[in-house]
A and B are shown apart, each in its own frame.
Chain A
Amino acid sequence: MKFGDETIIRDISIAVDQGELVSLLGVSGSGKTTLFNCISGIYQPTAGRVLLDGADITGTTGHISYMLQKDLLLPYKTIEDNVGLPLVIQGMSKEAARKQASEHFEEFGLEGTQKKYPKQLSGGMRQRAALLRTYLFSDNVALLDEPFSALDTITKGKIHNWYLDVMEKINLTTVFITHDINEAILLSDRIYIMTGKPGGIRYEIRIDTPRSQRQGYDLTDEFMQYKRQIMGVLEE
Protein backbone atom coordinates (compact mmCIF):
# COMPACT_ATOMS: atom_id res chain seq x y z
CA MET A 1 0.00 0.00 0.00
CA LYS A 2 1.39 3.38 -1.04
CA PHE A 3 0.45 6.99 -0.40
CA GLY A 4 1.99 9.03 -3.18
CA ASP A 5 5.53 7.78 -3.51
CA GLU A 6 5.83 6.57 0.01
CA THR A 7 5.32 2.90 0.64
CA ILE A 8 3.55 2.48 3.97
CA ILE A 9 3.23 -1.29 4.17
CA ARG A 10 4.52 -4.06 1.92
CA ASP A 11 4.68 -7.83 1.65
CA ILE A 12 2.22 -8.52 4.39
CA SER A 13 0.53 -11.86 4.38
CA ILE A 14 -1.64 -12.84 7.29
CA ALA A 15 -4.17 -15.61 7.63
CA VAL A 16 -6.78 -15.87 10.34
CA ASP A 17 -8.80 -19.02 10.99
CA GLN A 18 -12.44 -19.16 11.96
CA GLY A 19 -12.84 -18.15 15.62
CA GLU A 20 -9.18 -17.30 15.99
CA LEU A 21 -7.91 -14.21 17.76
CA VAL A 22 -4.83 -12.76 16.12
CA SER A 23 -2.89 -9.70 17.24
CA LEU A 24 -0.79 -7.30 15.23
CA LEU A 25 1.79 -5.94 17.61
CA GLY A 26 3.98 -3.04 16.62
CA VAL A 27 5.23 0.41 17.43
CA SER A 28 3.39 3.53 16.27
CA GLY A 29 3.96 4.27 12.61
CA SER A 30 4.48 0.67 11.52
CA GLY A 31 1.39 0.89 9.32
CA LYS A 32 -1.04 -1.18 11.39
CA THR A 33 -3.93 1.17 10.86
CA THR A 34 -3.25 1.47 7.14
CA LEU A 35 -3.41 -2.30 6.94
CA PHE A 36 -6.76 -2.25 8.71
CA ASN A 37 -8.17 0.34 6.35
CA CYS A 38 -7.14 -1.92 3.47
CA ILE A 39 -8.80 -4.95 5.03
CA SER A 40 -12.04 -3.10 5.83
CA GLY A 41 -12.17 -1.75 2.28
CA ILE A 42 -11.80 1.95 3.10
CA TYR A 43 -8.58 2.05 1.07
CA GLN A 44 -7.94 0.33 -2.20
CA PRO A 45 -4.47 -1.20 -1.79
CA THR A 46 -1.89 -0.49 -4.53
CA ALA A 47 -1.19 -4.22 -4.66
CA GLY A 48 -2.51 -7.32 -2.94
CA ARG A 49 -5.83 -8.92 -2.17
CA VAL A 50 -8.19 -9.39 0.75
CA LEU A 51 -9.98 -12.71 0.83
CA LEU A 52 -12.93 -13.57 3.06
CA ASP A 53 -13.96 -17.25 2.98
CA GLY A 54 -12.19 -17.47 -0.38
CA ALA A 55 -14.10 -14.54 -1.94
CA ASP A 56 -12.17 -11.48 -3.08
CA ILE A 57 -13.40 -8.42 -1.15
CA THR A 58 -10.45 -6.11 -1.89
CA GLY A 59 -11.48 -2.44 -1.79
CA THR A 60 -15.13 -3.12 -1.03
CA THR A 61 -16.80 -2.07 2.20
CA GLY A 62 -19.66 -3.70 4.04
CA HIS A 63 -17.93 -7.02 4.84
CA ILE A 64 -15.60 -6.40 7.74
CA SER A 65 -16.09 -3.73 10.34
CA TYR A 66 -13.71 -2.35 12.89
CA MET A 67 -13.55 -0.76 16.27
CA LEU A 68 -11.17 1.99 17.28
CA GLN A 69 -9.68 3.43 20.43
CA LYS A 70 -12.30 6.15 20.02
CA ASP A 71 -15.62 4.43 20.70
CA LEU A 72 -17.31 6.50 17.95
CA LEU A 73 -20.68 6.04 19.57
CA LEU A 74 -22.91 8.74 18.17
CA PRO A 75 -23.80 11.14 21.03
CA TYR A 76 -27.32 11.72 19.72
CA LYS A 77 -28.35 8.07 19.62
CA THR A 78 -29.19 5.88 22.58
CA ILE A 79 -26.95 2.86 23.22
CA GLU A 80 -29.42 0.45 21.64
CA ASP A 81 -29.66 2.59 18.52
CA ASN A 82 -25.89 2.97 18.41
CA VAL A 83 -25.17 -0.73 18.55
CA GLY A 84 -28.05 -1.47 16.18
CA LEU A 85 -26.80 1.06 13.63
CA PRO A 86 -24.97 -1.45 11.39
CA LEU A 87 -28.20 -3.44 11.10
CA VAL A 88 -30.11 -0.29 10.12
CA ILE A 89 -27.40 0.47 7.55
CA GLN A 90 -27.90 -3.00 6.13
CA GLY A 91 -31.58 -2.19 5.63
CA MET A 92 -33.23 -3.43 8.82
CA SER A 93 -35.95 -1.33 10.43
CA LYS A 94 -35.10 0.57 13.61
CA GLU A 95 -37.41 -1.59 15.72
CA ALA A 96 -36.06 -4.87 14.37
CA ALA A 97 -32.49 -3.66 14.90
CA ARG A 98 -33.28 -2.74 18.51
CA LYS A 99 -34.83 -6.11 19.08
CA GLN A 100 -31.88 -8.00 17.67
CA ALA A 101 -29.42 -5.80 19.56
CA SER A 102 -31.28 -6.25 22.84
CA GLU A 103 -30.66 -10.01 22.75
CA HIS A 104 -26.94 -9.41 23.28
CA PHE A 105 -26.95 -6.76 25.97
CA GLU A 106 -26.70 -9.22 28.82
CA GLU A 107 -24.01 -11.28 27.13
CA PHE A 108 -21.91 -8.14 26.76
CA GLY A 109 -22.52 -6.93 30.31
CA LEU A 110 -24.50 -3.96 29.08
CA GLU A 111 -27.91 -4.69 30.60
CA GLY A 112 -29.81 -1.56 31.62
CA THR A 113 -27.98 0.77 29.27
CA GLN A 114 -30.31 0.41 26.28
CA LYS A 115 -32.06 3.77 26.69
CA LYS A 116 -29.02 5.70 27.87
CA TYR A 117 -26.90 8.05 25.83
CA PRO A 118 -23.15 7.42 25.39
CA LYS A 119 -22.13 10.34 27.59
CA GLN A 120 -23.96 8.73 30.51
CA LEU A 121 -21.66 5.69 30.37
CA SER A 122 -18.11 5.21 31.62
CA GLY A 123 -15.25 4.72 29.14
CA GLY A 124 -15.14 0.95 29.72
CA MET A 125 -18.87 0.55 29.16
CA ARG A 126 -18.69 2.61 25.99
CA GLN A 127 -16.00 0.28 24.61
CA ARG A 128 -18.22 -2.70 25.42
CA ALA A 129 -21.03 -1.07 23.45
CA ALA A 130 -18.63 -0.35 20.58
CA LEU A 131 -17.59 -4.01 20.50
CA LEU A 132 -21.22 -5.11 20.46
CA ARG A 133 -21.84 -2.79 17.54
CA THR A 134 -18.87 -4.31 15.69
CA TYR A 135 -20.13 -7.80 16.48
CA LEU A 136 -23.66 -7.03 15.25
CA PHE A 137 -22.29 -5.70 12.01
CA SER A 138 -20.91 -9.04 11.05
CA ASP A 139 -20.68 -11.99 13.35
CA ASN A 140 -17.69 -13.52 11.61
CA VAL A 141 -14.77 -11.10 11.41
CA ALA A 142 -13.92 -7.96 13.36
CA LEU A 143 -10.93 -5.64 13.31
CA LEU A 144 -10.06 -4.01 16.61
CA ASP A 145 -7.63 -1.11 16.43
CA GLU A 146 -6.17 -0.48 19.90
CA PRO A 147 -9.67 -0.70 21.34
CA PHE A 148 -8.67 -0.42 25.00
CA SER A 149 -5.60 1.81 24.85
CA ALA A 150 -7.43 4.94 26.02
CA LEU A 151 -8.59 3.31 29.25
CA ASP A 152 -6.80 3.60 32.59
CA THR A 153 -4.87 0.55 33.82
CA ILE A 154 -7.49 -0.67 36.30
CA THR A 155 -10.38 -0.37 33.84
CA LYS A 156 -8.19 -1.98 31.19
CA GLY A 157 -7.48 -4.99 33.43
CA LYS A 158 -11.18 -5.46 34.05
CA ILE A 159 -12.10 -5.10 30.42
CA HIS A 160 -9.47 -7.67 29.39
CA ASN A 161 -11.16 -10.27 31.58
CA TRP A 162 -14.53 -9.22 30.27
CA TYR A 163 -13.23 -9.43 26.71
CA LEU A 164 -11.86 -12.98 27.10
CA ASP A 165 -15.16 -13.96 28.66
CA VAL A 166 -17.27 -12.49 25.85
CA MET A 167 -15.04 -13.97 23.18
CA GLU A 168 -15.63 -17.42 24.66
CA LYS A 169 -19.36 -16.93 24.22
CA ILE A 170 -19.55 -15.37 20.78
CA ASN A 171 -16.76 -17.09 18.86
CA LEU A 172 -15.77 -14.05 16.82
CA THR A 173 -12.82 -14.16 14.46
CA THR A 174 -10.74 -11.17 15.43
CA VAL A 175 -7.71 -9.21 14.28
CA PHE A 176 -6.51 -7.05 17.11
CA ILE A 177 -4.06 -4.16 16.74
CA THR A 178 -2.10 -3.15 19.80
CA HIS A 179 1.19 -1.65 20.91
CA ASP A 180 0.79 -3.19 24.36
CA ILE A 181 2.83 -6.41 24.64
CA ASN A 182 0.95 -7.63 27.73
CA GLU A 183 -2.38 -7.13 26.05
CA ALA A 184 -1.25 -9.00 22.95
CA ILE A 185 -0.06 -12.04 24.91
CA LEU A 186 -3.04 -12.08 27.23
CA LEU A 187 -5.73 -11.87 24.56
CA SER A 188 -4.40 -13.63 21.45
CA ASP A 189 -4.06 -17.08 19.97
CA ARG A 190 -1.34 -15.80 17.67
CA ILE A 191 0.72 -12.62 17.48
CA TYR A 192 2.24 -11.04 14.38
CA ILE A 193 4.95 -8.54 15.16
CA MET A 194 5.09 -5.60 12.77
CA THR A 195 7.96 -3.21 12.27
CA GLY A 196 8.32 -0.12 10.06
CA LYS A 197 9.09 1.55 7.65
CA PRO A 198 7.68 0.39 5.29
CA GLY A 199 5.65 -1.77 7.62
CA GLY A 200 5.96 -5.52 7.36
CA ILE A 201 5.53 -8.67 9.42
CA ARG A 202 8.71 -9.52 11.30
CA TYR A 203 7.78 -12.46 13.44
CA GLU A 204 4.96 -14.75 14.39
CA ILE A 205 4.28 -16.26 17.81
CA ARG A 206 1.67 -18.75 18.88
CA ILE A 207 0.44 -18.59 22.49
CA ASP A 208 -0.10 -22.18 23.56
CA THR A 209 -2.26 -21.71 26.65
CA PRO A 210 -5.90 -21.75 25.52
CA ARG A 211 -7.81 -18.51 25.92
CA SER A 212 -10.20 -20.10 28.40
CA GLN A 213 -7.31 -20.42 30.89
CA ARG A 214 -6.04 -16.86 30.71
CA GLN A 215 -7.43 -15.44 33.97
CA GLY A 216 -4.35 -14.30 35.87
CA TYR A 217 -2.15 -15.53 33.00
CA ASP A 218 -0.17 -12.29 32.95
CA LEU A 219 1.45 -13.24 36.28
CA THR A 220 2.83 -16.61 35.15
CA ASP A 221 6.37 -17.49 34.08
CA GLU A 222 5.20 -18.68 30.70
CA PHE A 223 3.74 -15.21 30.09
CA MET A 224 7.09 -13.64 31.00
CA GLN A 225 8.91 -15.92 28.61
CA TYR A 226 6.67 -14.84 25.73
CA LYS A 227 7.17 -11.24 26.75
CA ARG A 228 10.97 -11.59 26.77
CA GLN A 229 10.83 -13.27 23.38
CA ILE A 230 8.75 -10.45 21.88
CA MET A 231 10.90 -7.71 23.39
CA GLY A 232 13.93 -9.44 21.93
CA VAL A 233 12.39 -9.32 18.47
CA LEU A 234 11.41 -5.65 18.83
CA GLU A 235 14.89 -4.65 19.95
CA GLU A 236 16.66 -6.27 17.03
Chain B
Amino acid sequence: MNKTGWFSNKIYPFISILAILALWEALSFFEIVPNFMLPSPQQTVQAFIGDFWLLMSHLKVTLLETVIGTLMGVSIGFLSAVLMDRWDPAYKAMYPIIVLTQTIPAVAIAPLLVLWFGYKMMPKVVLIVLITFFPIVVGVLDGFRSADKDAINLLRSMGASRWQIFRHIKFPNALPNFFSGLRITVAYSVVGAVLAEWLGGFAGLGVYMTRVKKSFAYDKMFAVIFLISIISLILIWLVSVLQKKCMPWDQVDVPVRKRDQNKVAKG
Protein backbone atom coordinates (compact mmCIF):
# COMPACT_ATOMS: atom_id res chain seq x y z
CA MET B 1 0.00 0.00 0.00
CA ASN B 2 1.29 3.49 -0.76
CA LYS B 3 1.97 6.10 1.85
CA THR B 4 -0.97 8.41 1.16
CA GLY B 5 -3.34 5.43 1.29
CA TRP B 6 -1.96 4.45 4.65
CA PHE B 7 -2.33 8.01 5.90
CA SER B 8 -5.94 8.50 4.81
CA ASN B 9 -6.81 5.10 6.28
CA LYS B 10 -5.40 5.98 9.68
CA ILE B 11 -6.49 9.60 9.86
CA TYR B 12 -10.19 8.91 10.44
CA PRO B 13 -9.91 6.58 13.44
CA PHE B 14 -7.25 8.92 14.80
CA ILE B 15 -9.62 11.92 14.61
CA SER B 16 -12.51 9.99 16.16
CA ILE B 17 -10.38 8.79 19.07
CA LEU B 18 -9.08 12.30 19.58
CA ALA B 19 -12.65 13.63 19.60
CA ILE B 20 -13.69 11.16 22.28
CA LEU B 21 -10.70 12.10 24.41
CA ALA B 22 -11.54 15.79 24.03
CA LEU B 23 -15.16 15.16 25.02
CA TRP B 24 -14.04 13.13 28.00
CA GLU B 25 -11.60 15.85 29.08
CA ALA B 26 -14.34 18.47 28.73
CA LEU B 27 -16.83 16.42 30.79
CA SER B 28 -14.45 16.16 33.71
CA PHE B 29 -12.87 19.65 33.32
CA PHE B 30 -16.21 21.46 33.51
CA GLU B 31 -17.35 18.98 36.20
CA ILE B 32 -20.41 18.00 34.17
CA VAL B 33 -19.80 14.57 35.64
CA PRO B 34 -18.40 14.77 39.20
CA ASN B 35 -14.69 14.12 39.27
CA PHE B 36 -14.80 11.17 41.66
CA MET B 37 -17.09 9.36 39.24
CA LEU B 38 -15.27 10.21 36.03
CA PRO B 39 -11.57 10.98 36.39
CA SER B 40 -10.01 13.04 33.61
CA PRO B 41 -7.72 11.42 31.02
CA GLN B 42 -4.84 13.20 32.67
CA GLN B 43 -5.65 11.70 36.09
CA THR B 44 -5.96 8.30 34.50
CA VAL B 45 -2.50 8.57 32.98
CA GLN B 46 -1.10 9.78 36.30
CA ALA B 47 -2.69 6.86 38.12
CA PHE B 48 -1.24 4.50 35.54
CA ILE B 49 2.27 5.92 35.93
CA GLY B 50 2.01 6.06 39.73
CA ASP B 51 0.97 2.42 40.00
CA PHE B 52 2.99 1.22 37.02
CA TRP B 53 5.11 -1.43 38.72
CA LEU B 54 2.23 -2.70 40.82
CA LEU B 55 0.12 -2.97 37.66
CA MET B 56 2.93 -4.83 35.90
CA SER B 57 3.24 -7.38 38.69
CA HIS B 58 -0.51 -8.05 38.51
CA LEU B 59 -0.39 -8.07 34.73
CA LYS B 60 2.26 -10.79 34.85
CA VAL B 61 -0.14 -13.10 36.69
CA THR B 62 -3.06 -12.34 34.38
CA LEU B 63 -0.95 -12.82 31.27
CA LEU B 64 0.42 -16.11 32.54
CA GLU B 65 -3.11 -17.39 33.16
CA THR B 66 -4.19 -16.15 29.74
CA VAL B 67 -1.31 -17.81 27.93
CA ILE B 68 -1.63 -21.15 29.73
CA GLY B 69 -5.43 -21.17 29.40
CA THR B 70 -5.38 -20.18 25.74
CA LEU B 71 -2.71 -22.71 24.79
CA MET B 72 -4.61 -25.46 26.56
CA GLY B 73 -7.99 -24.39 25.17
CA VAL B 74 -6.63 -24.11 21.65
CA SER B 75 -4.88 -27.49 21.82
CA ILE B 76 -7.92 -29.25 23.23
CA GLY B 77 -10.15 -27.51 20.69
CA PHE B 78 -7.92 -28.46 17.80
CA LEU B 79 -7.54 -32.08 18.87
CA SER B 80 -11.30 -32.39 19.41
CA ALA B 81 -11.90 -31.04 15.92
CA VAL B 82 -9.46 -33.60 14.49
CA LEU B 83 -11.17 -36.38 16.42
CA MET B 84 -14.65 -35.31 15.37
CA ASP B 85 -13.59 -35.02 11.74
CA ARG B 86 -11.90 -38.39 11.76
CA TRP B 87 -14.57 -40.32 13.57
CA ASP B 88 -18.23 -39.53 13.01
CA PRO B 89 -19.63 -41.01 16.28
CA ALA B 90 -17.34 -38.59 18.16
CA TYR B 91 -18.84 -35.74 16.17
CA LYS B 92 -22.39 -36.82 16.88
CA ALA B 93 -21.72 -37.39 20.57
CA MET B 94 -19.60 -34.31 21.29
CA TYR B 95 -21.01 -31.55 19.13
CA PRO B 96 -24.29 -30.98 21.03
CA ILE B 97 -22.43 -30.94 24.32
CA ILE B 98 -19.93 -28.43 22.98
CA VAL B 99 -22.74 -26.14 21.84
CA LEU B 100 -24.48 -26.61 25.19
CA THR B 101 -21.41 -25.46 27.13
CA GLN B 102 -21.54 -22.23 25.19
CA THR B 103 -25.07 -21.46 26.30
CA ILE B 104 -23.89 -21.22 29.91
CA PRO B 105 -22.73 -17.64 30.57
CA ALA B 106 -19.14 -17.31 31.77
CA VAL B 107 -20.31 -14.96 34.54
CA ALA B 108 -22.50 -17.73 35.92
CA ILE B 109 -19.93 -20.49 35.82
CA ALA B 110 -16.97 -18.47 37.08
CA PRO B 111 -18.08 -18.36 40.78
CA LEU B 112 -18.63 -22.12 40.67
CA LEU B 113 -15.14 -22.66 39.30
CA VAL B 114 -13.74 -20.54 42.14
CA LEU B 115 -15.75 -22.59 44.59
CA TRP B 116 -14.48 -25.88 43.13
CA PHE B 117 -10.88 -25.02 42.33
CA GLY B 118 -9.97 -22.42 44.96
CA TYR B 119 -8.36 -19.01 44.70
CA LYS B 120 -5.22 -19.86 42.84
CA MET B 121 -4.57 -20.16 39.15
CA MET B 122 -6.67 -23.24 38.45
CA PRO B 123 -10.19 -21.74 38.15
CA LYS B 124 -8.89 -18.94 35.91
CA VAL B 125 -7.21 -21.37 33.56
CA VAL B 126 -10.28 -23.62 33.45
CA LEU B 127 -12.53 -20.68 32.62
CA ILE B 128 -10.22 -19.55 29.82
CA VAL B 129 -10.09 -23.09 28.43
CA LEU B 130 -13.90 -23.13 28.37
CA ILE B 131 -14.00 -19.76 26.62
CA THR B 132 -11.30 -20.45 24.01
CA PHE B 133 -12.27 -24.01 23.22
CA PHE B 134 -15.49 -23.21 21.37
CA PRO B 135 -14.43 -20.76 18.64
CA ILE B 136 -11.46 -22.97 17.83
CA VAL B 137 -13.29 -26.28 17.67
CA VAL B 138 -16.17 -24.91 15.59
CA GLY B 139 -13.92 -22.95 13.23
CA VAL B 140 -11.38 -25.70 12.69
CA LEU B 141 -13.98 -28.43 12.26
CA ASP B 142 -15.80 -26.29 9.72
CA GLY B 143 -12.49 -25.76 7.92
CA PHE B 144 -11.85 -29.52 7.79
CA ARG B 145 -15.35 -30.23 6.52
CA SER B 146 -15.43 -27.53 3.90
CA ALA B 147 -12.31 -28.89 2.21
CA ASP B 148 -12.84 -29.39 -1.53
CA LYS B 149 -14.17 -32.93 -2.08
CA ASP B 150 -12.76 -33.00 -5.61
CA ALA B 151 -9.31 -32.09 -4.35
CA ILE B 152 -9.53 -34.85 -1.74
CA ASN B 153 -10.58 -37.34 -4.44
CA LEU B 154 -7.72 -36.22 -6.65
CA LEU B 155 -5.24 -36.88 -3.87
CA ARG B 156 -6.87 -40.23 -3.24
CA SER B 157 -6.44 -41.11 -6.91
CA MET B 158 -2.75 -40.38 -6.40
CA GLY B 159 -2.76 -42.93 -3.60
CA ALA B 160 -2.60 -40.44 -0.72
CA SER B 161 -3.03 -41.75 2.81
CA ARG B 162 -5.51 -40.28 5.25
CA TRP B 163 -2.66 -38.42 6.95
CA GLN B 164 -1.46 -36.98 3.65
CA ILE B 165 -4.95 -35.76 2.82
CA PHE B 166 -5.08 -34.13 6.24
CA ARG B 167 -1.63 -32.61 5.86
CA HIS B 168 -2.05 -31.27 2.31
CA ILE B 169 -5.74 -30.40 2.16
CA LYS B 170 -7.68 -30.37 5.40
CA PHE B 171 -5.15 -28.70 7.66
CA PRO B 172 -4.28 -25.75 5.38
CA ASN B 173 -7.95 -25.37 4.55
CA ALA B 174 -8.75 -24.91 8.25
CA LEU B 175 -6.01 -22.33 8.89
CA PRO B 176 -8.03 -19.18 8.05
CA ASN B 177 -10.83 -20.33 10.37
CA PHE B 178 -8.31 -21.26 13.02
CA PHE B 179 -6.84 -17.79 13.01
CA SER B 180 -10.14 -15.95 13.05
CA GLY B 181 -11.14 -18.16 15.98
CA LEU B 182 -7.85 -17.45 17.70
CA ARG B 183 -8.25 -13.71 17.23
CA ILE B 184 -11.63 -13.70 18.99
CA THR B 185 -10.30 -16.07 21.57
CA VAL B 186 -7.27 -14.10 22.80
CA ALA B 187 -9.39 -11.02 23.50
CA TYR B 188 -11.96 -13.07 25.40
CA SER B 189 -9.23 -14.88 27.32
CA VAL B 190 -7.90 -11.73 28.97
CA VAL B 191 -11.41 -10.68 29.92
CA GLY B 192 -12.11 -14.20 31.21
CA ALA B 193 -8.97 -14.17 33.35
CA VAL B 194 -9.86 -10.78 34.83
CA LEU B 195 -13.42 -11.94 35.50
CA ALA B 196 -12.24 -15.03 37.37
CA GLU B 197 -9.72 -12.99 39.36
CA TRP B 198 -12.41 -10.48 40.23
CA LEU B 199 -14.40 -13.28 41.86
CA GLY B 200 -11.53 -14.42 44.04
CA GLY B 201 -7.78 -14.59 43.98
CA PHE B 202 -4.53 -13.30 45.39
CA ALA B 203 -3.03 -11.54 42.37
CA GLY B 204 -3.90 -10.40 38.88
CA LEU B 205 -5.50 -7.37 37.26
CA GLY B 206 -8.97 -8.50 38.40
CA VAL B 207 -7.80 -8.58 42.01
CA TYR B 208 -6.27 -5.13 41.58
CA MET B 209 -9.60 -3.94 40.21
CA THR B 210 -11.59 -5.15 43.22
CA ARG B 211 -9.13 -3.44 45.53
CA VAL B 212 -9.19 -0.04 43.82
CA LYS B 213 -12.96 -0.28 43.54
CA LYS B 214 -13.27 -0.78 47.28
CA SER B 215 -11.11 2.30 47.91
CA PHE B 216 -13.13 4.32 45.35
CA ALA B 217 -9.97 5.06 43.37
CA TYR B 218 -11.70 5.41 40.02
CA ASP B 219 -8.69 6.93 38.35
CA LYS B 220 -6.86 3.65 39.01
CA MET B 221 -9.90 1.72 37.85
CA PHE B 222 -9.78 3.57 34.53
CA ALA B 223 -6.04 2.98 34.30
CA VAL B 224 -6.45 -0.79 34.65
CA ILE B 225 -9.34 -0.86 32.17
CA PHE B 226 -7.15 0.82 29.59
CA LEU B 227 -4.31 -1.56 30.36
CA ILE B 228 -6.59 -4.52 29.73
CA SER B 229 -7.75 -3.03 26.42
CA ILE B 230 -4.20 -2.39 25.32
CA ILE B 231 -3.11 -5.92 26.23
CA SER B 232 -6.03 -7.39 24.28
CA LEU B 233 -5.15 -5.25 21.26
CA ILE B 234 -1.52 -6.35 21.42
CA LEU B 235 -2.57 -10.01 21.59
CA ILE B 236 -4.90 -9.60 18.61
CA TRP B 237 -2.08 -7.93 16.71
CA LEU B 238 0.28 -10.78 17.59
CA VAL B 239 -2.23 -13.27 16.20
CA SER B 240 -2.37 -11.26 12.95
CA VAL B 241 1.42 -11.30 12.72
CA LEU B 242 1.45 -15.05 13.30
CA GLN B 243 -1.24 -15.52 10.68
CA LYS B 244 0.77 -13.60 8.08
CA LYS B 245 3.78 -15.77 8.89
CA CYS B 246 1.81 -19.00 8.61
CA MET B 247 -0.24 -18.09 5.54
CA PRO B 248 2.13 -16.36 3.10
CA TRP B 249 -0.15 -17.10 0.15
CA ASP B 250 -2.72 -14.73 1.62
CA GLN B 251 -0.36 -11.82 1.10
CA VAL B 252 0.23 -12.05 -2.64
CA ASP B 253 -1.68 -9.70 -4.91
CA VAL B 254 -3.72 -11.06 -7.78
CA PRO B 255 -2.49 -9.69 -11.11
CA VAL B 256 -4.59 -7.28 -13.11
CA ARG B 257 -6.22 -9.26 -15.90
CA LYS B 258 -6.28 -6.27 -18.25
CA ARG B 259 -2.83 -7.19 -19.56
CA ASP B 260 -4.13 -10.55 -20.80
CA GLN B 261 -7.06 -8.93 -22.54
CA ASN B 262 -4.78 -6.48 -24.36
CA LYS B 263 -2.61 -9.33 -25.52
CA VAL B 264 -5.59 -11.16 -26.99
CA ALA B 265 -6.82 -8.00 -28.72
CA LYS B 266 -3.43 -7.35 -30.32
CA GLY B 267 -2.79 -10.94 -31.28
Contacts and interface: CB of A to CB of B under 8 A. Distances in A.
Q: Which of B159, B247, B255 counts the most A-chain CB atoms under 10 A from its CB? A: B159
- Secondary structure at chain A's binding surface: helix, strand, loop or mixed? loop
B229 interface: no
Interface stretch (B6-14, B149-157, B183-191, B199-207): B149-157
Contacts of B260: 122
Nearest to A67: B154
A112 to B, nearest CB: 13
A75 B249 contact: yes
Interface stretch (B36-44, B91-99, B164-172): B164-172
Contacts of B100: none
B151 A74 contact: yes
A119 B150 CA distance: 18
B172 A76 contact: yes
A72 B155 CA distance: 10
Given A120-B254, A120-B255, A42 B164 contact: no
Q: Which of A72, A90, A119, A122 counts the most B-chain CB atoms under 10 A from its CB? A: A72
A119 B151 CA distance: 16
B33 interface: no
Interface residues on A, range: 20 to 34
Contacts of A137: 158
Interface in A82-97: 85-86, 88-90
A154 interface: yes
Contacts of B32: none
Contact of B154 (A66, A90, A119): A66
A117 interface: yes
A65 interface: yes
B158 A86 contact: yes
Contacts of B151: 72, 74
Interface in A23-45: 37, 40-42
A68 interface: yes
Nearest to A69: B150
A65 B255 contact: no
Interface string B128-166: 000000000000000000001011011111111000100
Given A62-B159, A154-B264, A72 B257 contact: no
A117 B172 CA distance: 14
Contact of A68 (B150, B160, B247, B253): B150
A61 interface: yes
A64 B160 contact: no
Given A72-B151, A117-B249, A89 B160 contact: yes
A40 B154 CA distance: 9
Contacts of A179: none
Interface in A115-147: 116-117, 119-120, 122, 137
A61 B150 contact: no
A89 B249 contact: no
B173 to A, nearest CB: 8
A3 B165 CA distance: 25
A19 B163 CA distance: 34
A70 interface: yes
Interface string A176-210: 00000000000000000000000000000000000
List the 9 closest pairs (A to B, CB-CB), nearest first.
A62-B159, A40-B157, A76-B172, A76-B249, A86-B158, A89-B160, A89-B158, A117-B249, A72-B151
30 contacts: A37-B153, A40-B157, A42-B153, A42-B157, A61-B156, A61-B158, A62-B158, A62-B159, A65-B157, A66-B157, A68-B150, A70-B150, A72-B148, A72-B151, A74-B151, A74-B168, A74-B172, A75-B249, A76-B247, A78-B249, A86-B158, A89-B168, A116-B252, A117-B249, A117-B252, A119-B254, A120-B253, A120-B255, A122-B257, A154-B264
Given A62-B158, A72-B150, A85-B158, 19 more contacts: A41-B157, A42-B157, A62-B157, A62-B159, A68-B150, A70-B150, A72-B148, A74-B168, A74-B169, A74-B172, A75-B249, A76-B249, A85-B155, A85-B168, A89-B155, A117-B249, A119-B252, A120-B252, A154-B264
Interface of A: 37, 40-42, 61-66, 68, 70, 72, 74-78, 85-86, 88-90, 116-117, 119-120, 122, 137, 154
